[in-house]
Amino acid sequence: MSSITSGTAPTTKSAVCFRKIPKSATFSSMLYRSSSSSSSRLMLSSLSSSSSTTSAKLLNSNNGSSISSSSCSSPKPFRPVMHRREADRLEEERLRQVQWQDVTVKMVVDAPASVAYKLYADRELFPKWMPFLSSVEAVEGSPDLSRYLVKFESFGKNIEYHFLAKNLQPIPDRKLHWRSIEGFANRGSVRFFPRGPSSCLVEINFSFEVPHALAPVAFLMKPFMEKLMRGGLEHFAAFVKTS
C-alpha cells in the first residue's frame, strides 16, 4: 500500500493482489447481473404462467357461458316419424273402438242353391224382398260396384242412408259378399247350403257401424236390424217360389 501511495511501481505480488481486486469486483457485478437476469426470468415466467392461467380461466368461462346459453336455448320440437306398422296398429285400435253390430239370420227356402244364388246375384232385385232398400243401382262402367239407398222408420224417426258397396269375388252357387267403401259403413255375405235337389239353407251375415244419430239407442240396433233382415229373408223365401 505504501508503494501505491508513493507512486512507485508495485511489486509482482502486489500487482497480483491489485488485479484480484477488479477481478473480484467483476465477479460480484457478474453475480449481480446473473441474479438480476434470473429474477427477470422468474418474473417473466411468473407473468407467462399468470397469463396462461388467466387465458385458461377466460376460455373455461367462455365455454361455460356457451354451454349455459346452449342449454338454456329452447330445444327443437320433436317430430316423430310414424312407421307403417305403427299407423296400422293405431288404425286397428280405432276400428276396435268403433261400435259395430253383427247380425246373422238363416232360413231354408224351397229352391235349389243355384236358383237362390242366381236371384241374389242380381242386386237390383233386392228391393223386391227387402222393403228397407229403396233402390240398388249398378255403377255404369263398374260392374263390381253398387249404389244403395236405405229408407226406413225407426224410433219415431225417418231414417235414410246411402252407401257405395264393392261386390267382392263370389263363389258360384255358394257365396256372395260385399263391403261398403263410401257412406253407411257395413259389410256382409250371403251363403247357400244345398238341402236336397229342391231346397237350400240361406244364411245372411251382416255387420254395420251404428250411425251417430242412433248412438243413444245403439243397444236396440242389433235386434231391430235382425228383425229387418229376417223379414227380408222371409220375403225372399216367398219371392223364390214365384220365380
Domain extents for the chain? Answer: 98-241
Sheet containing 175-183: give its strands across: 100-109, 200-209, 186-194, 175-183, 157-167, 142-154, 133-139
pLDDT of residue 4: 40
pLDDT of residue 157: 75
pLDDT of residue 7: 46
pLDDT of residue 80: 54
The answer to whether 225 and 99 are in contact (CB under 8 A) is no
pLDDT class of 231 with cuts at 50, 70, 90:
very high
Amino acid at 60: N
Asked if the model's pLDDT at residue 91 lies above 70, the reply is: no
pLDDT class of 125 with cuts at 50, 70, 90:
very high
pLDDT of residue 11: 47
Q: Over the stretch 28-87, which tens digit does the pLDDT of each residue have?
A: 444 445 444 444 454 444 444 444 444 444 444 444 444 444 444 555 555 555 567 777
When mean pLDDT is compared across 34-48, 146-160, 169-183, the lowest value belongs to 34-48
Superfamily (CATH) of domain 98-241: START domain (3.30.530.20)
The answer to whether 189 and 175 are in contact (CB under 8 A) is yes
pLDDT of residue 82: 56
Q: Over the stretch 94-122, which tens digit does the pLDDT of each residue have?
A: 555 557 899 999 999 999 999 999 999 99
| Mean pLDDT score, 151-172 | 87
Asked if the model's pLDDT at residue 8 lies above 60, the reply is: no
Asked if the model's pLDDT at residue 175 lies above 90, the reply is: yes
